[in-house]
Structure 1
């Protein structure tokens, strides 16, 4: 009788332990989309979906709370072009409102740095905004660098630095977004500086 009670207690403790692990895991996954937008005055969080150099279009699925390869017509979306020129993802707790022409998703960000794994949360510094219109929807892209100097690969602090020192980088980014998706119709309205990028982020906070 005592042995049976002890076994039941052990099974109960094991079950409680498993439930706690699952709940902690779910809470962690749930929080990633709703992390704080801002870290400090000019630093923000970015959730990386697609690492630099990747040609598979990963995205964060809010329902399953996991990173999956996006599908179109039942097929995985593989970039039939050069791979992503930076680490691509979103700025958490932001929302591009369809009522004002947005696509209904979090604000996109392209972080210029070496490969960062899918699911990483990176502290970034916005330096520009690419004003992209995709299939008639506003699809602005925040261009950023890591806040951590050791993770930076180009010596820029703002839009003027980017435009003056690395105009070719702007050209590469433009050409990539205009050509990576053969089925969409994309146009570029122009560029905005780091101040405009900050305005767009603050406007999109959900």
Structure 2
């Protein structure tokens, strides 16, 4: 009999992905014009989900076509050739990382660590940190957040210190995922930052 030994990181990936199953009782609104929503909802951050946790299909929102599958050369749907997204991936409305100030020309990206929610869902979240990467020479900031709704959370953390101390394996999984989902050596890790930095990034890129 052969025994297969999984590393702690692999086990963590499996547990994180298995936990990202949608709850039937949860309902979410899809706003008619996601870009027009405010970035903040009181003490929380608004996020429009493009890519649900647990999928490897790249979905993006565009003003002219709504939520559509991103495509590669030739028109085929873009599929991430790696493990599926470890959280719900989307953007902060009313933000724009304009290129004139060193951004990538898109709204601020957010990875929400939670139960899987559908494309187009509007969800209020609490930032717990930020992952800074270099992608094709540009700084690429990913806000890491948890839902305001505690019933959607996959673990109990409220800030970066909690995250690093209580769920460091999950933090390392997220880091490893973003360093590999585009292929080896495509992105470079710069550093992690805390929730204060994450909020500062939101305010920096918020449309005036």
TM-score using structure 2 length = 0.82
Matched residue SS, 1:72: coil
How many Å separate the matches in 2 of 1:169 and 1:97? 31
Larger Rg belongs to:
1
Matched residue SS, 2:90: strand
Q: Which has the higher contact order (CA 8 A, sep 6+)?
A: 2
Pair 1:29–1:78, CA change in 2 (3 A): same
Per-residue deviation at 1:100? 2.4
Matched, 1:57 2:58: yes
Per-residue CA deviation, residues 113-160 of structure 1 (Å, 9 max, x unaligned), is: 011000000011000000111111121000000011111111101000
Matched residue SS, 2:203: helix
Give runs of aligned pairs for residues 172-183 of structure 1, distance below 5 A: 172-182=173-183
Where in structure 1 do 4 or more consecutive aligned residues deviate above 4 Å?
A: none
Aligned pairs, how many?
A: 177
How many Å separate the matches in 1 of 2:102 and 2:32? 27
- Report the counterpart of residue 73 of structure 1 in structure 2: 73
Give runs of aligned pairs for residues 66-145 of structure 1, distance below 5 A: 66-74=66-74, 75-145=76-146
Structure 2 unaligned blocks of 5 or more = 1-29
Question: What do you get for the CA RMSD once the two structures are aligned?
Answer: 1.4
| Selected match of 1:40 from 39, 42, 51 | 42
Give runs of aligned pairs for residues 158-197 of structure 1, distance below 5 A: 158-182=159-183, 185-197=186-198
Per-residue deviation at 1:183? 8.0
